Structures are given as C-alpha cells and as structure tokens.
Amino acid sequence: MTTVALATNLQINCGMTYIATLKVNKEIPLETKDTTYRRPGSSAFLYTNNITLLLYCKDTSRTKKLVHLMSTMHTHLITMPNRKPEIITFLRPKVRSNTFNQMCSYYAVGHKTKRCVSSMG
C-alpha cells in the first residue's frame, strides 16, 4: 500500500526514491479531491519536505478523473512538450505492466485438457 510514511521511510532509511499512484484516502487533503473547477489536462503540484504530490485531471470520454501521484524523485515542476508532467511520462511503463498483470488475472493463461492421461512407468 502506498503511503506518505512509506515513501519517507524508504528515502530516509534506505536512500531509495519512490514514485507511485495514490488512492484517495485520509492522508490527502479534501480540497484536492474536487474535480469541479479543474480543466481536463490540467495539473497541480503540492510540495512538502522531499515529497511531490501531483494532481492530474485526466479527461476520459464522459467524466473527469483526478489522478493522484506521489514522487520523492521529482522535486521540481517539469512539464514535457505535450503539456504532461514528467512524473506521468516516467510512470507510463509501470502502468503498462499493471495492465498486463490485470489482464493475466482476468483471462486464463493455463490450458485445461479433458483427456485421460495414462502414466508411463
């Protein structure tokens, strides 16, 4: 589970950087959860100590979805030429592997047979 305490602990005790998506929970202020006044494609950055919290308003076909990302690696506001923050482009390979793992859990990857197997001995 991704928490601010875990990211801080990994950075201080192990010297590791941490980047992940966050589920909306008690650690995130209520003001950041509202999508009413956000434009699709807009982003907002929140900084504390060595942690950057990115709020990115993703435009889906019907609704606006707010994505919360936390990073201890990215400490400055950097946006790519396509106006997406660097944190999002950095996480793209991870999202693909998560999608692959999700598809593997949905679909059977084993092959079941209904024939009798006789042992050779």
Per DSSP (E only), the strands in 11-63 are: 19-22, 43-48, 51-59
The overall pTM is greater than 0.85: no
Domain contains 102: no
- The answer to whether the beta carbons of residues 54 and 43 sit under 8 Å apart is yes
116 in a structural domain: no
- CA–CA distance, 73 with 53 (Å, rounded to integer): 11
Model confidence pLDDT, tens digit, residues 52-101 = 888 888 776 666 777 788 888 876 666 666 667 777 777 766 666 667 66
Total number of domains constituting the chain:
1
Alpha helices by DSSP H, listed for the chain, are: 4-9, 86-106
Domain hosting 61: range is 4-91
